[in-house]
Homo-oligomer: A and B are copies of this chain.
Amino acid sequence: MVDRYASFDRLAFDRPAPHVLRVTINRPEKMNALDAEGHDQLERVWAAIDADPEARVSIITGAGKAFCAGGDFASMPIGGALDPNQEGARSFRSATNLVMGMVNASKPIVSAINGPAVGAGLAVALLADISIAAKQAKLIDGHVRIGVTAGDHAALIWPLLCGMAKAKYYLLTNETMTGEEAERNNLVSLAVDAADLQAKALEVAEKLASSAPTAVRMTKYVLNHWLRQQQAVFDLSAALEMINFQGAESRAAIKAVSEKSTPEFPDKTYF
């Protein structure tokens, strides 16, 4: 196992049952926030698992109290070394690789949402084929709060999870949804007490691991065509997010979040 997953140092791996691989996002001191390298590893890991003959099912969870706090500010495409076109291209590819990497993975993925899941972290939580949340876990998309379009995964799948009315409410206001509410809204598959979460995720993963592998994977594959059909809409959300990151609105919003102050936005809007 060392060799296969050696390049994934932001993630921890174990095999809690035959054919089950557990992946743990492993930066607990930062609520498992993703730096650029961590994001990249979450883009690549699903293809590595597909190539792993010992794994039939994977579990994705977070180390410590959080599931994943999303991208850290340092990894956001706010400017820097690259020019805006290159930064936009790189970030667009990075966002779509993470999302479509999970959609196109052959093997089923179970998420055990043990604590806060935000931004790209929420994308990973909800794009798992079976999502199991601790009842008190907090789910927040968080894009609008930092002044950018909800471009990570939401436009691909939320309308097919909790419906448009709930989707827009949570995506536009960035109100927190608990795991319990998420299950009630059909956003996640199951919600269980935090104490039972890892056991339940493992139970479900073992059930999948003991089922006919081709049938499981083809059932996933076919259902995901509903998502692939919305790839242009998702791509659009990601492209608009990259445009937003270049401007004053997102800078003001990020500053306000960092300083816990009230943001001020330019008077005029062109959209």
Neighbouring B residues of A167 by C-beta, 8 Å: 223
Chain A, residues 68-111, CB within 8 Å of chain B (1/0): the string is 00000000000000111111111011000000000000101000
Residue of B nearest to A240 (CB): B218
Interface size on A, residues (CB 8 A): 102
Whether B204 and A144, one on each chain, are in contact in the complex, defined by CB atoms closer than 8 angstroms, is no
Chain A, residues 158-188, CB within 8 Å of chain B (1/0): the string is 1111111111110111100000000001111
Whether A168 and B85, one on each chain, are in contact in the complex, defined by CB atoms closer than 8 angstroms, is no
Q: Which of B89, B220, B266 makes the CB contact (< 8 A) with A270?
A: B89
Chain A, residues 253-267, CB within 8 Å of chain B (1/0): the string is 100000000110111
Is A247 positioned at the interface, with any CB of B under 8 Å from its CB? Answer: yes
Whether B244 and A243, one on each chain, are in contact in the complex, defined by CB atoms closer than 8 angstroms, is no
Q: A163-B160, A213-B249, A216-B172 are in contact. Are A240 and B225 (CB under 8 A)?
A: no
CB distance from A7 to the nearest CB of B (A): 16
Bound state CA distance, A202 and B19, in angstroms? Answer: 49
Chain A, residues 140-159, CB within 8 Å of chain B (1/0): the string is 00011101111000110111
CB distance from A166 to the nearest CB of B (A): 6
Whether B149 and A207, one on each chain, are in contact in the complex, defined by CB atoms closer than 8 angstroms, is no
Whether A230 and B222, one on each chain, are in contact in the complex, defined by CB atoms closer than 8 angstroms, is no
Please give the count of copies of this chain that the complex contains: 6
Is A193 positioned at the interface, with any CB of B under 8 Å from its CB? Answer: no
Is A198 positioned at the interface, with any CB of B under 8 Å from its CB? Answer: no
Q: A161-B164, A161-B165, A228-B228 are in contact. Are A144 and B270 (CB under 8 A)?
A: no
> Which A residues fall within an 8 A CB radius of B?
53, 56, 82-90, 92-93, 106, 108, 126, 129-131, 143-145, 147-150, 154-155, 157-169, 171-174, 185-190, 204, 207-208, 210-223, 225-233, 235-237, 239-240, 242-250, 252-253, 262-263, 265-271
A-B contact pairs, 12 of them (CB 8 A): A83-B246, A84-B243, A85-B248, A85-B250, A88-B243, A93-B270, A93-B271, A144-B215, A159-B223, A173-B208, A228-B232, A232-B232
Ranked nearest first, the 3 interchain pairs of A and B with the lowest CB-CB distance are A85-B247, A147-B212, A84-B246
Having A144-B211, A155-B225, one finds 5 other A-B pairs with CB under 8 Å, namely A85-B245, A106-B271, A155-B222, A162-B163, A171-B219
